Amino acid sequence: MKNPYLPMLTKIEDIVIENEARDIKTFKLSFIKKEDKENFTFLPGQFAELSILGVGESPIGIASSPTEKDYLLFTVKRAGVVTTRLHRSEIGETIGIRGPLGNTYPLPDMDGKNVLIIGGGFAFTTLRSTVKYILEKKNREKYKNLTVIYGARTPGELIYKNELWEWEKLKELKTYITVDKANGDWQRHVGVVPAILKQVAPTADNTIALVCGPPIMIKYTLLALNELGFKPEQFFLSLEMRMKCGIGKCGRCNIGHKYVCKDGPVFSFAELQKLPPEY
Amino acid sequence: MKKELENYSILNKEDFNKFFNTLLGKYNIFGPSKSDKGDKLNKINSADDLMLDYKNFKMSAKEFFFPQCETLLAFDPSTGIVKNRSEDVDAKNDIIFGIRPCDALALSFFDRVFKDGAPQDPYYTEKRHRSTIISLACLEPEPTCFCNAVGCDVDSETGADIILTQLNSRYLIKSVTEKGIEILKHLKTLIPATEDDIKEKDELMAKAKSGLKSNVEVKALKKKLDDFDASFWQTVHQKCLGCGVCTYFCPTCHCFDMTDEVCNNTGRRIRTWDSCMFPLFTLHASGHNPRPSYKERMRQRILHKFNYAQENYNEIFCVGCGRCIINCPVNLDIRKVIQEILEAK
**Chain B residue whose CA is closest to A248:** B113
Task: Estimate to the nearest angstrom the gap between the alpha carbon of B43 and the chain centroid.
Answer: 17
Nearest-Cα distance to chain A for B268, in Å, is 7
Measured distance CA(B113)–CA(B312) in Å, rounded: 10
B59 inside domain? yes
According to DSSP, the residues that pair with A152 across neighbouring strands are A179
Residue A111's contacts (CB-CB under 8 Å, 6 or more residues apart) are A142, A143
pLDDT of residue B37: 85
| Mutation site for A-interface testing, chosen from B116, B226, B256, B258 by largest number of A Cβ within 10 Å | B258
- Test B311 with A257 for CB contact under 8 angstroms: yes
Q: What is the pLDDT of residues A145-163, one digit of tens each?
A: 999 999 999 999 999 999 9
In a domain, A224, yes or no: yes
Contacts of A257 in chain B (CB under 8 A): 307-308, 311-312
The pLDDT of residue A60: 97
| pLDDT tens-digit map of B158-195 | 999 999 999 998 999 999 999 999 999 878 899 999 99
For chain B, how many helices (H) and strands (E)? 13, 12
* B278 near A CB under 8 A: no
Number of cross-chain residue pairs from A and B with Cβ atoms under 8 Å apart = 111
Distances (CA, A) of B316 to A128, A143, A232, B208, B313: 42, 45, 31, 23, 8
Q: Where are the beta strands (DSSP E) in chain B?
A: 8-12, 27-32, 41-43, 69-75, 82-84, 93-99, 131-136, 162-166, 170-175, 191-192, 256-263, 266-273
CB contact under 8 A, B304 and A250: no
Both B29 and B100 in one domain: the answer is yes
Minimum Cα–Cα distance from B267: chain A residue: A54
Same-domain check for residues B166 and B98: yes
Q: What is the β-pairing status of strands B170-175 and B191-192?
A: unpaired
Residue A268 in domain:
no
Domain annotation covers residue A13: yes
Q: State the amino acid at position A105 in one-letter form.
A: Y
- Same domain, residue pair A161 and A200: yes
Residue A29 lies in a domain: yes
A244 lies in some domain: no
Which residues of chain A carry a pLDDT beneath 70? 1
Q: Is residue B76 part of a domain?
A: no
Per the domain annotation, does B74 fall within a domain? no
Do the Cβ atoms of A226 and A130 come closer than 8 Å?
no
Annotated binding-site residues of A for [2Fe-2S] cluster read 245, 250, 253, 261
| B79 inside domain | no
Count the domains in chain B: 2
The 8-class DSSP code of residue A262 comes to T
What is the CA angle B230-B231-B235, rounded to 5? 125
Q: Supply the Cα-derived Rg of chain B in whole angstroms.
A: 22
Domain boundary among A77, A100, A123: A100
Same domain, B192 and B286: no
Determine the distance in angstroms separating the CA of B29 from the nearest CA of chain A, rounded to an integer: 26
Domain encompassing residue A135 = 107-238
Amino acid at the residue A261? C
**B75 to chain A: closest CA residue:** A53
Q: Do residues A104 and A195 lie in contact, with contact meaning Cβ atoms separated by under 8 Å?
A: no
Residues B187 and B290 in one domain: no
Residue B207 CA to residue B119 CA, distance in Å, equals 43
Q: Which amino acid is at B68?
A: Q
For residues A181 and A89, state if they share a domain. no
Tell me, yes or no, whether B106 and B188 share the same domain.
yes
Task: Indicate whether A112 and A230 sit together in one domain.
Answer: yes
Q: Is A89 helix (H, G, I), strand (E, B) or coil?
A: coil
- Give yes or no: residues A111 and A95 share one domain: no
Contact B119/A at CB under 8 A: yes
Q: Domain end: A43, A78, A100, which one?
A: A100
Alpha carbon distance A13, A182 (integer Å): 33
Produce one character per residue of B127-136: b if its CB has 16 or more CB atoms within 10 Å, e if not.
bbeebbbbbb
* Strand pairing category for A189-190 and A94-101: unpaired
Are residues B295 and B206 both part of a single domain? Answer: no
Q: Are residues B233 and B194 in the same domain?
A: no
Closest CA to B156 of B324, B319, B6: B319
| Cβ atoms of residues A145 and A174 within 8 Å | yes
C-alpha span between A181 and B55 (Å, rounded):
69
Question: What is the rounded distance in angstroms from the CA atom of residue B341 to the CA atom of residue A149?
Answer: 46
Number of structural domains found in chain A:
2
Domain check: are B234 and B113 in the same one? Answer: no
Contact call for B269 and A53, based on CB within 8 A: yes
Alpha-carbon distance values, B212 to B56, B141, B326 (Å) = 15, 6, 16
Asked if the bond preceding A277 is cis, omega within 30° of 0, the reply is no
Considering the domain architecture, whether residues B36 and B153 belong to the same structural domain is answered as yes
pLDDT in tens, chain B (345 residues): 556 788 999 999 999 999 999 999 999 999 999 988 888 899 999 999 999 888 899 999 999 999 999 999 998 887 777 776 656 667 789 999 999 999 999 999 999 999 998 899 999 999 999 999 999 999 999 999 999 999 999 999 999 999 999 999 899 999 999 999 999 987 889 999 999 999 999 999 999 999 998 778 887 898 899 999 999 999 999 999 999 999 999 999 999 999 999 988 889 999 999 999 999 999 998 899 999 999 999 999 999 999 999 999 999 999 999 999 999 999 999 999 999 999 988
Choose the closest CB to A6 out of B84, B256, B259: B84
Q: Could you tell me if A210 and A113 lie in one domain?
A: yes
Kindly state whether residue B73 falls inside one of the protein's structural domains: no
CA distance B24 to chain A (A): 29
- Chain B residues in contact with A56 by the CB 8 A cut-off are 258-260
Contacts of B83 in chain A (CB under 8 A): none
Chain A contact for B69 (CB, 8 A cutoff): no
Q: What is the pLDDT of residue B83?
A: 74
Instruction: Name the H helices within A13-117.
Output: 34-39, 81-87
The answer as to whether B215 is a domain residue is no
A262 CA to chain B: closest CA distance, Å? 10
Q: Is residue B243 part of a domain?
A: yes
Instruction: State the DSSP code for B120.
Output: P
State which residues form the domain around B317. Answer: 221-264+273-343
Residue A144 sits in the same domain as residue A222: yes
DSSP code at position B306: I
> Is B30 in the same domain as B159?
yes
Provide Rg for chain A, Cα atoms: 18
Are both A94 and A119 inside the same structural domain? no
Amino acid in position A19 = N
pLDDT in the model for residue A2: 84
Confirm whether A69 is domain-assigned.
Answer: yes
CATH of the domain at A131: 3.40.50.80
Q: Does A138 lie in the same domain as A66?
A: no
Interface subset of B 251-270, CB within 8 angstroms of A: 254-262, 267, 269
In this structure, the strands spanning B82-84 and A207-212 are unpaired
Q: Are residues A147 and A188 in the same domain?
A: yes
Buried b / exposed e over A105-122, threshold 16 CB at 10 Å, is bbbeebeebbbbbbbbbb
How far apart are the C-alpha atoms of A249 and B341, rounded to whole Å?
28
User: With contacts defined as CB-CB under 8 Å, which chain A residues touch B274?
Assistant: 244, 250-252
User: Does A274 reside within a domain?
Assistant: no
Domain boundary among A47, A76, A100: A100
In whole angstroms, give the CA distance from residue A44 to residue A26: 17
In chain B, alpha helices (H): 16-26, 62-65, 101-110, 122-129, 178-184, 195-210, 221-225, 233-236, 245-249, 294-303, 309-313, 323-327, 334-343
| pLDDT score, position A4 | 94
Does A86 share its domain with A192? no
Q: What CATH number is associated with residue A94? A: 2.40.30.10
**Cα angle for residues A238, A241, A244 (degrees, 5° grid):** 125
A276–B260 C-beta distance less than 8 A: no
Query: Which residue, B182, B210, B238, sits at the end of a domain?
Result: B210
Give residue B1's pLDDT: 52
Q: Are residues B47 and B182 in the same domain?
A: yes
Same domain as B225, residue B206: no
The CA distance from B309 to the nearest CA of chain A, in Å, is: 7
Whether residues A131 and A196 share a domain: the answer is yes
Q: DSSP characters for A183-233?
A: -TT--SEES-HHHHHHHH----TTEEEEEE--HHHHHHHHHHHHHTT--GG
Looking at the structure, do residues A111 and A67 belong to the same domain, yes or no? no
Q: How far apart are CA B180 and CA B146, in angstroms?
A: 27
